[in-house]
Amino acid sequence: MRKAKAIKDAYIRDKTERCVSQIESEDAKGQQQQPQSALHSVLLRERDVAAKEGRPPAYCRGGIADEFFGFMIAGHDTSATALAWGVKLLADHPESQEELRRKLRAALPDAAREKRAPAYAELAAMHVPYLNAVVEEVLRYANTIAFVVRRAQIDTLVLGRHIPKGTDVFLMANGAGYLEPSMPVADSERSPGARGSKALTGKWDDADIGMFRPERWLKTQENTGADVFDPVAGPTLAFGLGPRGCFGKRLAVQSLKLQFALLIWHLNLLKCPEDLSGYNAVQRFAREPTHCYVRLTRASF
């Protein structure tokens, strides 16, 4: 463990020093800098905050190193694991897979007619609500991150339960209200503010809450009848919430959209034999499928 930590610390130190050298070099030239990476962005913010506070930038403080380590782990394992679950889910739900392929080709008619891979510019500019819905449903159903942890900063009450200051509160994303029917909560146990406020999201239908169904993320636009993606259709904690939510959410979602779009554009995902397509999982940093196998054929145009 000591050796692994030393390797990790040396890697972070090297990347930080390179970014700091770039920042100082560009500052010396009086050039405006645009972030080149997540670490670069954080260090630029530290430079700006330090200037406002009249102190030297603390580029190498522990908080920045810890944040960068979080970027390294969360930015790789979770996206790769979500893609693994998505391959399984789309193979086991061919109707969703075929609907996604149909929507993609309708949105990119030139690429479909020419029987070629869509260019990045085409993928980035296309508007396919069903693709957003598939990504969100994979994240909801796969439950890649099973919980989010927050520490109570003051003594407080949550649903009538006393939570002392300093308590680590585990916010589960794989139980009632997410993948299982909701638990009834009496209004008397809610805070006055919660009783008077509108919910942040909708509520999943208990009848199909345990099913993989991307359509739950879509609503119909009244004046046109078109499908519209609704990111707050129901509760989800795939990226956390609030000011401490995932720093890389937009990048992660865009990456998954591109990967699923190209995968389904080119390939048919076929269901694997029963003994190779189970949904058992192992909890490492992310919740990974025990079995992740594929059977493929080329998708016809």
**Would the CA dihedral through 283, 242, 249, 235 be positive or negative?**
positive
**How would you class 184 by CB atoms within 10 Å of its CB: exposed for 0-12, middle for 13-18, buried for 19 or more?**
exposed
Residue 144 near residue 174 (C-beta atoms within 8 A): no
- Please indicate if the annotation marks 272 as binding a ligand: no
Q: Residue 60 and residue 21: Cα distance in Å, rounded?
A: 13
Residue 38 near residue 247 (C-beta atoms within 8 A): yes
Tokens of 128: 């396919």
Q: Residue 7 and residue 29: Cα distance in Å, rounded?
A: 34
Q: Residue 43 and residue 296: Cα distance in Å, rounded?
A: 44
Residue numbers in the known binding site for heme are: 246
Residue numbers in the known binding site are: 246
